[in-house]
C-alpha cells in the first residue's frame, strides 16, 4: 500500500514539474502537461490524467512554469499523418428559397449539394472542391429539376472560430427532363461559419443561384383579326435565392 501511494505521489510530482499553462484567447488559463501539439491542435493532460484538446487558433500562448513560451511539440507523434487525415473534407449544403424566371413564372426552389475537396489551404480554413447536387424549382405549376456539376470555393473573411464567409460555385446544370435543356450554372454565398474543430464546421448562409436553360415558350402575336400563339424554344435564366445550412466534415 505504501508503494502504491508513493508511486502516485511521484507521478503527480513529475506531472507538476513539467507543467505548462495554456493561455486561451478568451483569457482563460488551463494548466497541465502537453502531450502533443502541431499547427492545428494542442492536447493537454491535467493532473488527474484527463486529456483536453484545443484548436491552435484558440490558443494565445503556451507558458512553462517559468513563464517561457513553448514552441516545439512535447511528444513526438506522426504529425504529417495527422495533417494528411485532416486535409480532405466533405461539404454538405441544404437550402430552400424563392425561385423565379425573370419576366415570367415565380415559385419555390430547393437544393442539395455534396462537394468533396480540401478544407485547409495553407494554414487557412478555406474549402476548395467540387461535386454535384440536386436543384429543383416549382414554377407556375411546372417542375424544373437539374443536376448541377460544379467547382466551388468557400472562404472566411477572417481566420477565427466564428467568422463571416463568402463562397462561389460555377458549373453546368444537367436537365432531368426532356421538356427543357440545361445550361451554365453559377452560385454565390454570404454567411456565417462556426469552426467546431480543425475539420468540422457549421454554417448558415444566404445564397443566390443562376441556372441557364432552354425551354418551350409560348408567344402571342397580335393580328388585325385575331391574336396568334406560337411556341418556340428560348433561353431563360432561372434564379433561386434563399437560405441554406452547410456542414463541413
Q: Do residues 140 and 59 both lie within one domain?
A: no
Q: How far, in Å, CA of 24 to CA of 27, rounded?
A: 5
Cα radius of gyration rounded to whole Å, the chain: 27
Query: Of 77, 105, 131, at which residue does a domain stop?
Result: 77
**Which residue range is the domain that position 46 belongs to?**
2-77
Neighbour-count burial for 49-62, b at 16+ CB within 10 Å, e otherwise: eeeeebeebbbeeb
Query: Of 44, 77, 110, at which residue does a domain stop?
Result: 77
Q: How far, in Å, CA of 36 to CA of 51, rounded?
A: 10
Short-list 173, 91, 186, CA closest to 129: 91
Q: Do residues 95 and 163 both lie within one domain?
A: yes
Q: Residues 42-82: pLDDT tens digits?
A: 888 887 778 888 888 888 888 876 544 544 444 444 444 33
Q: Do residues 68 and 122 both lie within one domain?
A: no
Q: How far, in Å, CA of 153 to CA of 214, rounded?
A: 27
**195's grid cell:** 469552426
| Least confident residue range of 3-7, 123-127, 137-141, 219-223 | 3-7
- Asked if residue 117 has pLDDT above 60, the reply is yes
Query: Of 42, 77, 112, at which residue does a domain stop?
Result: 77
Cell 454565390: give the residue.
188
Q: Do residues 58 and 104 both lie within one domain?
A: no
Is residue 47 a contact partner of residue 20, using CB atoms and an 8 Å limit? no
Q: Residues 136-162: pLDDT tens digits?
A: 999 888 899 999 999 999 999 998 889
pLDDT tier, 13 (very low <50, low <70, confident <90, very high otherwise): very low
Average pLDDT, the chain: 80
Neighbour-count burial for 136-164, b at 16+ CB within 10 Å, e otherwise: bbbbeeeebbbebebebbbbbeeeeeebe
Number of domains in the chain: 2
Amino acid at each position: 500500500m505504501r508503494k502504491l501511494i508513493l508511486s502516485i505521489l511521484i507521478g503527480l510530482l513529475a506531472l507538476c514539474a513539467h507543467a505548462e499553462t495554456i493561455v486561451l484567447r478568451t483569457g482563460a488559463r488551463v494548466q497541465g502537461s502537453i502531450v502533443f501539439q502541431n499547427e492545428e491542435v494542442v492536447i493537454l493532460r491535467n493532473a488527474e490524467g484527463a486529456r483536453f484538446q484545443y484548436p491552435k487558433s484558440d490558443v494565445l500562448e503556451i507558458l512553462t512554469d517559468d513563464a517561457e513560451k513553448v514552441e516545439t511539440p512535447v511528444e513526438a507523434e506522426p504529425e504529417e499523418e495527422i495533417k494528411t487525415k485532416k486535409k480532405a473534407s466533405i461539404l454538405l449544403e441544404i437550402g430552400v428559397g424563392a425561385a423565379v424566371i425573370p419576366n415570367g413564372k415565380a415559385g419555390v426552389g430547393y437544393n442539395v449539394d455534396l462537394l468533396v475537396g480540401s478544407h485547409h489551404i495553407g494554414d487557412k480554413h478555406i474549402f476548395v472542391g467540387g461535386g454535384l447536387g440536386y436543384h429543383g424549382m416549382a414554377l407556375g405549376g411546372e417542375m424544373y429539376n437539374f443536376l448541377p456539376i460544379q467547382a466551388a470555393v468557400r472562404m472566411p473573411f477572417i481566420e477565427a472560430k466564428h467568422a463571416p464567409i463568402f463562397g462561389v460555385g460555377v458549373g453546368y446544370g444537367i436537365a432531368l427532363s426532356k421538356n427543357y435543356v440545361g445550361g451554365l450554372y453559377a452560385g454565390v454565398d454570404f454567411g456565417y461559419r462556426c469552426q467546431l474543430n480543425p475539420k468540422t464546421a457549421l454554417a448558415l448562409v444566404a445564397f443566390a443561384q443562376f441556372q441557364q436553360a432552354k425551354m418551350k415558350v409560348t408567344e402571342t402575336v397580335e393580328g388585325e383579326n385575331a391574336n396568334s400563339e406560337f411556341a418556340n424554344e428560348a433561353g431563360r435564366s432561372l434564379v433561386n435565392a434563399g437560405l441554406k445550412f452547410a456542414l463541413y466534415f
